[in-house]
Amino acid sequence: MSKELKSSITQCGREITDQELDLILETVKMFPKLSQTDLAETICEHLGWYTASGRYKREACLKLLKKLEAGGALELPEKRRYSVPDRPGIVLRTRTTPSYSAVESSLGEPQREFIGPKLNSIYN
């Protein structure tokens, strides 16, 4: 890598030091099977590069990695193609319940009962 590229890298307001750059290059070389996103998150963790909410500055790190790749400093792994697995459609089905006629027939016909004066006071 050229000395000019190494000494003048600024990404999202952060000056990247030579030590940090060496760490980035070593990380990319050490983990060639990681995806670009995983590499960016690993580098953010090593550099302590977080947003105000505590998340990794993944997008800024990915831009930095692409800038370094364009300068010939490193070679990023190929972008992976993720496919969404085929899922069966949602089938809306209600539980089967016995029909009302089956319930009524098991209980029989409703019976009317005469409530005499003694029981009438309970219900009124």
Ranges assigned E (strand) in the chain: 10-11, 14-15
Q: Which residue has the higher pLDDT, 24 or 83?
A: 24
Residue 104 has pLDDT above 80, yes or no: no
Write out the two tokens for 121: 């006071």
Angle between helices 18-30 and 36-47 (to 10 degrees): 140
Q: What is the mean pLDDT of residues 17-28?
A: 93
Residue 85 reports pLDDT greater than 80? no
What distance in Å separates the CA atoms of residue 27 and residue 42, rounded to the nearest whole number?
8
CB–CB of 62/40 below 8 Å? yes
pLDDT over threshold 90, residue 112: no
pLDDT > 90? residue 89: no
Question: What pTM did the predictor assign?
Answer: 0.59
Give the least confident one: 12-21, 52-61, 67-76, 105-114: 105-114
> Per-residue pLDDT for 4 more than 50?
no
Q: What is the pLDDT, as a whole number, of residue 75?
A: 92
- The C-alpha angle 99, 111, 102, rounded to 5 degrees, equals 10
* pLDDT of 3: 46
